[in-house]
Chain A
Amino acid sequence: GQNIDQPTEMTATEGAIVQINCTYQTSGFNGLFWYQQHAGEAPTFLSYNVLDGLEEKGRFSSFLSRSKGYSYLLLKELQMKDSASYLCAALDSNYQLIWGAGTKLIIKP
């Protein structure tokens, strides 16, 4: 079956760096998405990776290893507003998104 695994919850300190991991098992692969979702709000797009390597966008970076079925989202210089759930989703061979349950990130002062 198809599956996405990511930690349920993580805690980090303001100003620090945190890495949220995601492993996927899908029938074929056409890329991996990360979304941010604040409580009670819509998920918003953060990144899309289809090739191996690291893509940086300001304080956020996303990494992909297709051979390992693994991705991570790296958040630097954490701010209180980064407290949210982070959703990992892989696009399978039918271009259907397979979603993880999300990682709730708690930022402490």
Chain B
Amino acid sequence: ETGVTQTPRHLVMGMTNKKSLKCEQHLGHNAMYWYKQSAKKPLELMFVYNFKEQTENNSVPSRFSPECPNSSHLFLHLHTLQPEDSALYLCASSQDKGGGADTQYFGPGTRLTVL
């Protein structure tokens, strides 16, 4: 238990569906992250929020839309996804963004399958 929770753990959706992934951290951290993890590939950073402000968007398609209502919660809204978007989506948090020892703590992930 890392103090970061994600729901749902598994999600199957059609290409026309709209769904949302939720992340909550109980660590009092200020920075939150969304990553995509595909088999045998490095973790791909998607979005970063620091003190609720989005600080990075790594050329992610607009069918992925993040939302950070407060420092403890992060959402990833999904719509009109493609089969190649099937992956494990990981949320992480760290005390700050930009510090030298900015250890990230990960949630268990949402395994997404797009049919």
A residues whose Cβ falls under 8 Å from a Cβ of B: 4, 8, 30-31, 33, 35, 40-45, 48, 50, 87, 89, 91, 95-102
Contacts and interface: CB of A to CB of B under 8 A. Distances in A.
A85 B43 CA distance: 13
Task: Determine chain B's interface SS by DSSP, over half rule.
Answer: loop
A44 B106 contact: yes
A8 B97 CA distance: 29
Interface string B94-115: 0001111111111111010000
A95 B11 CA distance: 32
A101 B40 contact: yes
A99 B43 contact: yes
Nearest to B96: A95
Given A42-B2, A42-B90, A101-B41, A50 B104 contact: no
Contacts of A42: 2, 4, 90, 106-109
Contacts of A102: 40, 42
Nearest to B105: A45
A45 B103 contact: yes
14 contacts: A4-B42, A42-B4, A42-B108, A44-B2, A45-B104, A50-B101, A91-B102, A95-B98, A95-B100, A95-B102, A99-B42, A101-B40, A101-B42, A102-B42
Contacts of A33: 103
A41 B106 CA distance: 9
